[in-house]
Structure 1
Amino acid sequence: MNKIFPRLFKKYNQNQLPPKERDLIDHWYHDTTHAPASAPNEIKTQREVWSKLLLEIQPQPKVRKLLLWHWAAAAVIFVGIATTLYLVSVDNPKPLDLASVAPAHPQAILVNADNRDAEILLTDKSQLQGIVNNKELDTIELLAPKGASFDITLPDGTIVYLNSDSRIRYPKKFNGTQRQVTLEGEAYFEVAHQKEKPFIVRTDKANITVLGTKFNVRAYASNEDNSISLLEGSVKLHNQFTTTLLKPGEMANIQKDAQVIPITNIGDEDPVAWKNGYFNFNNKPISELCEELARWYNVQFDLTLLKKDIKLHGTISRHQSLLKVLEQLSSTEEIKFETSGQQIIIKNN
């Protein structure tokens, strides 16, 4: 932006502008801030400014040319002011209204849908199936962004529930001797049984091989390990060093370079609470719960003032506004919250 605008604002703030110029800025600011929040059209804005100036400013005949030049410069300046005010409003959005922050909704993005980096927004799996049937796709890549979740049926009949901020890649048709998908984030699988063709989930830290089973995989890039929880059937886990079998009711936490894969009982962890519509925070630190809330509601948390990362116990419905969830958490009298701009600050009580 032209350097004249910062100088103009500086003079305005220091009360060094002539009264007429200051009045014009005040009027323009008032009109701009009460106008609809849309990007200013420079040509249209310039014409509006000229119209205002010609109506409001009646220059003396002896200095007509000078005044016309002066106000022509002012017109250009006011176009800059309008643009700057718009940019300021974008950089400084309204404070977050927690009551209006709704839970995640069914939505996904079909990435590279026509092999030209195109993206298609999906709202149900029948829409996805129609697009796949009518496009020459070899590989399908789906992203459930923050603030969304999505369920799909793979070519073999396997059902997959994608949690928020998760991505899955799979072929349009499973050829060969195995069925392989790649996951980033979290998903719950109900795998269609095919004894002759194992189903493999690849993450950045491990491979999970099954024949027909129900299990949950949590493999967010921000986590140090992958968590795999088995509900039914059997699962074989392997990284570059070791292989482990899981039994129903067990869960494993895999690190990429770990020599051993530790196995524990699921107990009251309830790893598929998210799929069943609940936040489960039995013995879960508030920092981890805030990560889930951030993905599900597509918001940002500030935990810098949380001096003690306490653990909470209980369940909360995921189908309510963020405000109600935070009010229920703060009712424990362990934490409190406040907003600052678009961030939610969590503190110890």
Structure 2
Amino acid sequence: MYINESTDTNNAFSKIVNTLRKMGSINGSKNNIKREWDSIPKQGILPYETKTRMWNTIEKNTVFKKRRRQRWMAAASVLFLLSIGSYQVVFNPIFSKTRIVATKTFPQDIRILHLPDGTRVWVNENTEISYPKEFGSNERSVTLKGEAFFEVKRDPSKPFVIRSGEIKTTVLGTSFAIKAYDGMAPEVRVRTGKVRVDGRNNTVLLEKGDAGVMAPKTKTLQKQKTETLEPEWKKMMLDVDGLTLDQVIVQLQSFHHFDVQYANDNLKKLKLSGTLDARQGYVKMLQTVAFAVEVEIKATDSIHYSISK
């Protein structure tokens, strides 16, 4: 079993970021920065590969690159996105050859997962989700405790099945939300496609605009209409994986009023990877994007920006 992202990662990066801010630049010597890194409390309990990855990232963006203070602040935003307090583990259950990926989120922690079949999952705070590293030949099985929004990659030959407490949700390819925290009545809300929900005492078939909610006393699923097709918290995390710079800018412009001017059209084609935390506000998101693709995004007034190398 190994840990991909540790709950200590965010604290570790934050301390390095704060230290560099005090320096006023990123031109501190490698030895000074390394001493700060080695002195971090709890850093010693992190797995070796995690420590190595974190230090390599810090070294790459401090020792080997000379950037202005504004660029480093953007880097800090990128590092913050790497680990906001969740963790992910991969393990082999006893008597099974299947490798299971398990992710747990904590308060104010929202994540986007890309599953082996191309399905995207927005995972809300205080949630646990697990699935095989490689899906089997008969079904795509996921276990959920908490809340998540699914955009399932369509595959008629292999149903997508989510087991979440007292309900089991089965789809072929659709988008929907499941809320199934401990001590709460589970519910499913459908944005697109068709969903089958099996409960302890009955089954309901849901389509776009439908919700299936379990009655606490009778433990029966009740079908009702809903205007909430996707939860508000989902909008807090933007998936920009594989998008071009221009596509990301257009996506941000759909939520915020600003204009950009590119120095040349080739800049529009630069590719990004990862996610953006919309809670930062669009100005900080632009800084994060600028650092990620190594461009300069400069404000010419309150709503106009120029993009150049």
**Structure-2-length-normalised TM-score:** 0.47
**Structure-1-length-normalised TM-score:** 0.42
User: Considering only CA atoms, is the larger Rg found in Structure 1 or Structure 2?
Assistant: 1
